[in-house]
Amino acid sequence: MNLGPSPKALAQILPGQYTIINGLIPSLLCLGLSLLFPLIWSDANAGAVGIRCNDPVVFSNSDVNIGVIPFTTEAPDADLTYQSNTFVSSSHLPASKLARVIQLDTLFSLRYPAGMGVVHFQGAPEDCQPEAVIQRIMASHESITLKAGKGMIMFWGRFLGAGDDLYAQSYLSFFRRGAKETVKITLGSGTDASSFFTGVGRQAIPFASRRLSGEELQAIELGFDRASIIWENAEGLKRVGQLPEHPEQPFAFSVSEVNAKSGRMRINPYRYAGIPDGWIDARVDPESWPLRAQLPELNFLNALAGYLAFRVIEGERPDPNWAGRWPRRLLSLRERAAGAFRTYRNYAVLPADSGDGDATAMQMASFEVDASPLQWLSSGPRNDDAKFIIPASERSALAWSHSLVALMDLITSTIEEIESEQREQAIRRARSQIERAEAYVPNDANLLNLAALIELRACCKDGVFDRAGSEKSILRADEYWRKALAADPGHRNTIRNLAQLYSAFENSGSNALGLSTNQVSKRLNTVINLEKRTRQAFIASVEPVATIYFPSGSRIDPAARGEIERVVALYREYGANRIELNGYSDPSGAAEANLALSSKRVRAVTRALYDYGLSAENIAGTGHGENDPKGDAENLTAQSRRRVEVYLR
């Protein structure tokens, strides 16, 4: 089957000013594509469909890439029987057509002031394991890989057919290449400065299983028929053509205009598609789209793209030519991402169904999603009307929908280019968001660390610990950190933050903690000893702290510089004695040449570490050639075997 231009050709031909999407792939398994993906209408967006999992590419100039892996029908439990014949067959058109309708609607909905790239991957399930696809992306050539600091979201899942219904369970993971999802707050200055860190921690999120009824699938098929018509104008007065009738036929187009009132988009199909320019129904009902009630993770995905774009742009400190625009971009991203997270919660947390009401109407019902369910969680149901459906498998995602907004608000409160009143509002919002996150997941060390930093920021914005009236917030920060330590005694940020807190109060003699100097010293010594044990466990790990991939030869990919910087930061943070490097090659060519090539790769990484101030006596390295212990055991591709693994010792 001809799936259109090659990946490299797509990377060259997609016009930067438009969003492009490239048609659908054969079979329901690729419903994941659209469950997936959204393309986004903004200044520099692009998308591609049908890219092979074993030879992946992404859009290297995009701030955020979204990778969609086809849903599978692999059973998570050997005792669970799948009626796969019902839903895997390409002849099951309602389910297959669902893909295009979702894709058009999400394309219509996702609009961020940042570059977004969307790539749909396909291939055999064994080739499309998320971690394996990510490894291959990292090993790709610099023109088609993720650049340092840029964001990546991977989205995948599985289907279960039961009678006339379809159940879908989705998962996602996200990261920024060579960057941690952390925030630093520094109090004081000079030798008295204390730095505190918090981070996201969880970067892989499962969602609850969703049911799509046979009636809903039939409604989707009718919506697909409407969305296939191409109109001459946004009002839909004259029909000028039609998109491919079969949902599996691939196609590509750019979006040059969106009409929110009619729910239509103007498309410019790829020149070889044989489809005229015109307007199509991107949203069957411009006012609402019930499918988002059935698959609320689509809204989470929307919001997460906005969060990652916020973090990418945060690192782009403005030059004099656009200093005024930079904070506005951040605030705009925060608002859109927070709104999308709220929409996700509106559909993921629902009033309990009495059993005799219309499910769709119930899901569209208006209620205060950020208040009522949380009150019910904390105080217990007062009556039947106070009950809400909150799946246990969804609570983590709900908590992180609040915590990621809190993290953006905490960052906003630290940016001097933003007006002081807005910074004050941001810290108040952050407190509110983290309280809601805790209601869903009360004992998560990462959430508690974030809560502690929010308290420090609220009490000590001028960098002084014992400012008048700050004692309550300092005590709350200490309480949050001690709860985090109880939840996870080896949590690195908790240990480091408590050590910084007690050290600052030991030196200052302040009694804001309500402790004597001797009591503070005892707490500090306890935390320091715990930190030493944690450090020893980390540097003795059998897993590498980083992996540097080589597209070919022994030249380091510029995108890998972020990983090397991270290695140096970890080396210094943990006080390691040395760095160990193990180099490998793919098995093509002569064994002796491969051994020499792997040694050259080790030397290349060694020289890069020298550039960051490390000396020869702190680095040891060995080339192993094609003798790769992971190569055969994990069935790595040739690209993934061209690497240097980095260990701290």
Of 246, 266, 284, the one marking the end of a domain is 284
Q: How confident is the model at residue 107 (pLDDT cuts 50, 70, 90)?
A: low
**CATH number assigned to the domain comprising residue 556:** 3.30.1330.60
145 and 280 share one domain: yes
Residue 168 in domain: yes
pLDDT mean over 201-228: 76
342 and 294 share one domain: yes
Own/partner pairs for 185-188, CB < 8 Å, 24+ apart? 185/410, 185/414, 185/453, 185/456, 185/457, 186/463, 187/456, 187/460, 187/463, 187/464, 187/465, 187/504, 188/463, 188/464, 188/465, 188/504
Q: Which of 61-65, 184-188, 222-226 has the lowest mean pLDDT?
A: 222-226
532 and 572 share one domain: no
Based on the structure, what is the number of domains in the chain? 4
260 and 385 share one domain: no
Asked if residue 84 lies in contact with residue 73, where contact means CB atoms within 8 angstroms, the answer is yes
Q: What is the token pair recorded at 95?
A: 């389910």
pLDDT mean over 175-186: 86
Cα(18)–Cα(309) distance, rounded to whole angstroms? 18
Of 485, 505, 538, the one marking the end of a domain is 538
Residue 5 has pLDDT above 50, yes or no: no
Cα(366)–Cα(368) distance, rounded to whole angstroms? 7
Q: What is the token pair recorded at 443?
A: 């004992």
Cα(644)–Cα(259) distance, rounded to whole angstroms? 50
240 and 294 share one domain: no
Domain ranges, residue 151: 7-284
Residue 534 in domain: yes
233 and 305 share one domain: no
Q: Which of 284-293, 304-313, 496-505, 510-519 has the lowest mean pLDDT?
A: 284-293
99 and 196 share one domain: yes
Q: How confident is the model at residue 48 (pLDDT cuts 50, 70, 90)?
A: low
What pLDDT, on a 0 to 100 scale, did the predictor assign at position 364?
A: 44
Residue 514 has pLDDT above 80, yes or no: yes
Cα(297)–Cα(172) distance, rounded to whole angstroms? 9
Mean pLDDT computed over every residue of the chain: 76
Of 434, 455, 489, the one marking the end of a domain is 434
One-letter amino acid at 8 equals K
Cα(618)–Cα(147) distance, rounded to whole angstroms? 28
425 and 446 share one domain: no
Please list the residues that pair with 267 across neighbouring strands. 255, 278
Spatial CA neighbour of 495 closest among 455, 452, 443, 541: 452
Burial class (CB in 10 A: 0-12, 13-18, 19+), 179: middle
Residue 444 has pLDDT above 70, yes or no: yes
Residue 295 in domain: yes
Strand, helix or coil for residue 204 = strand
Q: How confident is the model at residue 502 (pLDDT cuts 50, 70, 90)?
A: very high
Asked if residue 222 lies in contact with residue 474, where contact means CB atoms within 8 angstroms, the answer is no
**Helix ranges restricted to H, 463-590:** 471-487, 492-508, 517-539, 561-574
Cα(181)–Cα(203) distance, rounded to whole angstroms? 9
Q: What is the token pair recorded at 595?
A: 């051994």
200 and 79 share one domain: yes
Residue 366 has pLDDT above 50, yes or no: no
77 and 191 share one domain: yes
139 and 280 share one domain: yes
Residue 202 in domain: yes
Residue 41 has pLDDT above 50, yes or no: no
Residues 624-645: pLDDT tens digits? 999 988 876 666 778 789 999 9
Spatial CA neighbour of 442 closest among 454, 431, 434: 434
Q: How confident is the model at residue 33 (pLDDT cuts 50, 70, 90)?
A: very low
Residue 1 in domain: no
Residue 271 has pLDDT above 70, yes or no: no
Residue 2 in domain: no
Residue 509 in domain: yes
235 and 128 share one domain: yes
Cα(182)–Cα(175) distance, rounded to whole angstroms? 11
